[in-house]
Structure 1
């Protein structure tokens, strides 16, 4: 199949979703050579990945992932990465607030690729055990309503592709597949993208994958988060309908800050920032951006009627101690499951 796909791509023709799925299936089962993988990824990147190609590729990766069963619907709070911003781990910190507020979160992530600290890095620095098997994750979700699905554990078939990706050194379709291939199959999402041009296509892909409600966000300063240093472009997917909007922090009572106020550092440094936000000691812009993102996530999860109500609930969840209690219980539970 990959030979046929390469012929189409080199003629600047799109693949349908079934062919794209079949090619990734061949890669994930070791049926393709490194040269074929490299040629395919480069050709696809040069042409530009279509919605059908991304959808089919994501379906193939989900099929090859270790499966897990969730006891009730979960959400994911995740970014594509690649924004080169050097911020602290905003979405990971946000996930504790959202879970503590009442929404189960199954976060899918990995070690850092383009930053100092990815989700896996900061969680490890916080003391969490991250390399958990499906039955352990299912138990953790049942006990704490929160889990982390370590991409290296759940997408072991990527071993056939990873060396080629590393050698190529360019962005490929796999840079955007990570947020789309959570084995927990989240029904709702807050998804950040490094490029505004990805928002609408990714929303359509999420619809194809069965996601019911999602906010896809890109800060106008380049962040793959809801930003506090600029306005944020948002695409909302809700019940199959796609709406574009702009979020202005001042409209929700937040003052814009320099991006430097949101900078992080090493996993250990970022773990300290997360603790200080969740225990209420941090009252600066880092707390505010977590509250803003948590408010958006709670709305995307259909837990509140609008973003403003989500922001209010996020503030209360930190101030009354629930967020820090969630962090403490989660870390302990990862060591015991």
Structure 2
């Protein structure tokens, strides 16, 4: 590792093959914590390259626990690390999408640079993580949604979890997470915290010939926040949407803040699904859900998808999906 670090400290970058090999060795615990921390720190000081991103992703997918959950699955996930401390918007949107009739294989993890990640809030609500294919298929059958807790599927992520938590900073692992859902969903809506990362994702996902929508609020959120205009990038091009274009008034950032603890975050999560959310909270989750539904090209245009998302939330269908998942 010392030679690798010296090479990187001299402003060099890794090839795809080198990146894949190094992350594989990290997963196999071949380096000590200080060496791995130094390696991760390199990517806090400069952006990851496309070659490095490809290599890291290939390593994670090759080492991952394999599951075949069928086709026609969607995922909505953010890089995290936008520093905005919102409630769990993409996870809530996942249940709304499931309630509207689209099967979801949600990939998630504990929060690292945020109070409560998707894994934190679902665990707090009583969900037991699993990586058995039969159990996950059963969840899909009864709840229209299954949850894939990243450390159970990615040994490399599990081995660096304490280090990431200790740093408490956004690292390149945040960037890898949305790209390595082991169920390989057909439809991916990925929130990104800046446009440089969006470009990297765009190149990689186009190269892989995947269906994708990359979402970036121009004031820095890794989701449709309705606090500013949103750029959406797909394989067909890119477009900027105002909150009004998406069917809502612009909202204040304070209106979509999350809790200061995991238990607070879980209470917010449950209250929104129970129909007790504020107008701003409901607007944000249904807007994000509508983007996912539209991306599948099965539910009509955006306005039709927004109506379906609202109906899923207001009728209690989204809450039923959570109830079936936990029970």
> What TM-score do the two structures reach when normalised by structure 2?
0.90
Following superposition, the deviation at residue 168 of structure 1 comes to 5.3
Gaps of 5+ in 1: 333-337
Please point out which of 248, 252, 256 is paired with 1:254.
248
Following superposition, the deviation at residue 327 of structure 1 comes to 2.0
Determine helix, strand or coil for the equivalent of 1:251. Answer: coil
Q: Which residue of structure 2 lines up, in the alignment, with residue 224 of structure 1?
A: 222
Gaps of 5+ in 2: none
Matched, 1:313 2:311: no
Q: Find the aligned partners of 2:137 and 2:130 in 1 and give their Cα distance.
A: 13
Please point out which of 322, 325, 335 is paired with 2:320.
325
What pairs with 1:175-324 in structure 2 (closer than 5 Å)? 175-210=174-209, 212-236=210-234, 238=235, 241=236, 243-265=237-259, 266-324=261-319
Following superposition, the deviation at residue 201 of structure 1 comes to 0.9
Q: Find the aligned partners of 1:299 and 1:184 in 2 and give their Cα distance.
A: 21
Q: Find the aligned partners of 2:72 and 2:199 in 1 and give their Cα distance.
A: 24
Q: Find the aligned partners of 1:171 and 1:87 in 2 and give their Cα distance.
A: 16
Q: Which residue of structure 1 lines up, in the alignment, with residue 17 of structure 2?
A: 18
Following superposition, the deviation at residue 205 of structure 1 comes to 2.3
- Tell me: CA distance 1:51–1:33, structure 2 relative to 1, closer, same or farther (3 Å): same
> What TM-score do the two structures reach when normalised by structure 1?
0.87
- Tell me: CA distance 1:4–1:104, structure 2 relative to 1, closer, same or farther (3 Å): farther
- Tell me: CA distance 1:4–1:186, structure 2 relative to 1, closer, same or farther (3 Å): farther
Following superposition, the deviation at residue 216 of structure 1 comes to 1.2
Deviations 1:75-128 (A, max 9, x none): 111111112222211111110110111211111111221222211121123222
Contact between 2:67 and 2:133, CA under 8 Å: does it hold in 1? yes
Q: Find the aligned partners of 2:101 and 2:10 in 1 and give their Cα distance.
A: 50
Contact between 2:112 and 2:170, CA under 8 Å: does it hold in 1? no
Deviations 1:232-290 (A, max 9, x none): 12222x3xx5x222121112320111111112213333333333333334351101111
Q: Find the aligned partners of 2:169 and 2:277 in 1 and give their Cα distance.
A: 37
Q: Find the aligned partners of 2:268 and 2:159 in 1 and give their Cα distance.
A: 36
Q: Find the aligned partners of 2:226 and 2:139 in 1 and give their Cα distance.
A: 32
- Tell me: CA distance 1:309–1:60, structure 2 relative to 1, closer, same or farther (3 Å): same
Deviations 1:47-98 (A, max 9, x none): 4211121011011111112111112231111111112222211111110110
Q: Find the aligned partners of 1:90 and 1:45 in 2 and give their Cα distance.
A: 26
Contact between 1:71 and 1:142, CA under 8 Å: does it hold in 2? no
Q: Find the aligned partners of 1:319 and 1:162 in 2 and give their Cα distance.
A: 37
- Tell me: CA distance 1:171–1:125, structure 2 relative to 1, closer, same or farther (3 Å): closer
Q: Find the aligned partners of 1:310 and 1:164 in 2 and give their Cα distance.
A: 41
Cα RMSD over matched residues? 2.4
- Tell me: CA distance 1:272–1:56, structure 2 relative to 1, closer, same or farther (3 Å): same
Determine helix, strand or coil for the equivalent of 2:26. Answer: helix
Matched, 1:54 2:53: yes
Following superposition, the deviation at residue 291 of structure 1 comes to 0.9
Matched length: 326
Determine helix, strand or coil for the equivalent of 2:266. Answer: helix
Q: Find the aligned partners of 2:306 and 2:239 in 1 and give their Cα distance.
A: 18
Deviations 1:146-179 (A, max 9, x none): 1111122222333443444455565432121111
Q: Which consecutive segments of 4 or more residues in structure 1 shift more than 6 A?
A: none
